Amino acid sequence: MDYNYTRSYHGRVQLVVFDWAGTTVDFGCQAPIVAFAEGFRQKGIEISMAQAREPMGREKRAHIRAITEMDEVARAWEAQYGRPVSGEDIDEMFDDFVPLLLRILPDHSQLIPGVSEAIASLREQGIRIGASTGYFREAADTVAAAAAVQGYRPDVAISSSEVAVGRPAPWLIYRIMEELNIHPAAAVVNVGDTVVDVESGLNAGVWSIGVAATGNETGLSAEEFARTPTAERQALVAAAREKLLRAGAHQVIDTMEELPGVIECINGQLGRGCSP
């Protein structure tokens, strides 16, 4: 006998998983960019900020590899070394990247404005908080310790070095769901500032929310954001918003102040039987 069984979740959001840099800390996602640019410079290769930012959100070894695979960077490498980049080169660059990032992180772990208030609103609703990142464990711990001093303490924090494959694979989100025993996927929201963040949420089957103004896709530090002429700033944010929407984000917010309203909207959709 054949069966056709369909069910839908009509509850509320139970878990929100946040990225770190560019989403909850480090306005404009500055720390890894500085470290990547310096790491390539030490190899005699100059990369642009746009090149450094393009793979943002991935596990950092994969991020380095993605940069070396860009046509312009690959040509510069061959001109410098007379051969293509090798796996050993990637390993060496990652090993050099680790201390660079750890040295830079303490200066780039300030909570982004609006994060504390958004988290407090979610906590009041009984929503659990997770944190995922493309950082390796030691870097993630450094950021988490700085955030804790400022009052932000996720219930569970998982780094890319703790899963078999980092973003855009869904395993970081699934690990947090498992740790907190929260399901189904429709009860989970993933929030991040990169295309890879959005893709990881979609791959996990959860609600995927992009953050435009404070993150990697706009790419301005808080100071740069404040002094950029209004029209130029608005254009940059609009382009970031469009890029995240094209990646498949269910919704895109400019800043974290908008998140509680988005969660309430998702709760309404869930109540009508909608799913991600």
Q: From 107, 140, 167, give the residue that closes a domain.
A: 107
Say what the pLDDT of residue 7 is.
Answer: 83
Helix (H, G, I), strand (E, B) or coil at 147: helix
Joined together, the tokens standing for residue 84 give 């293509």
Would you say residue 16 has pLDDT above 70? Answer: yes
Q: What is the CATH number of the domain that holds 44?
A: 1.10.150.240
Q: Name the band, by pLDDT with cuts 50, 70 and 90, for residue 1.
A: low
Ranges of H-type helices in the chain: 31-42, 49-53, 60-68, 71-81, 87-104, 115-124, 137-149, 171-180, 195-204, 222-227, 230-246, 259-271
Interval 27-53 mean pLDDT: 91
CA distance 247 to 270: 22
Say what the pLDDT of residue 184 is.
Answer: 97
Residue 10 lies in a domain: no
Asked if residue 183 and residue 70 are part of one domain, the reply reads no
Do 166 and 172 meet the contact criterion of CB atoms below 8 Å apart?
A: yes
Say what the pLDDT of residue 79 is.
Answer: 94
Q: Helix/strand/coil (H, E, C) string of 226-265?
A: HHCCHHHHHHHHHHHHHHHHHCCCCEEECCHHHHHHHHHH
Residue 43 lies in a domain: yes
Would you say residue 243 has pLDDT above 70? Answer: yes
Residue 256 lies in a domain: yes
Give the model confidence (pLDDT) of 92-140 as tens digits. Answer: 999 999 999 999 999 999 999 999 999 999 999 999 999 999 999 999 9
Asked if residue 129 and residue 93 are part of one domain, the reply reads no
Would you say residue 166 has pLDDT above 60? Answer: yes
Asked if residue 120 and residue 78 are part of one domain, the reply reads no
The structural domain count of the chain equals: 2
Give the model confidence (pLDDT) of 53-62 as tens digits. Answer: 888 888 889 9
Say what the pLDDT of residue 168 is.
Answer: 95
Residue 8 lies in a domain: no
Catalytic residues: 19, 60
Asked if residue 181 and residue 120 are part of one domain, the reply reads yes
Say what the pLDDT of residue 247 is.
Answer: 97
Q: From 49, 77, 107, give the residue that closes a domain.
A: 107
Q: Name the band, by pLDDT with cuts 50, 70 and 90, for residue 250.
A: very high
Q: Which residue has the tokens 């069910």?
A: 7
Q: Name the band, by pLDDT with cuts 50, 70 and 90, for residue 224.
A: very high
Interval 67-81 mean pLDDT: 95
Model pTM score: 0.90
Asked if residue 189 and residue 64 are part of one domain, the reply reads no
Asked if residue 155 and residue 100 are part of one domain, the reply reads no
Range of the domain at 249: 15-29+109-271
What mean pLDDT value characterizes the chain? 94
Asked if residue 235 and residue 245 are part of one domain, the reply reads yes
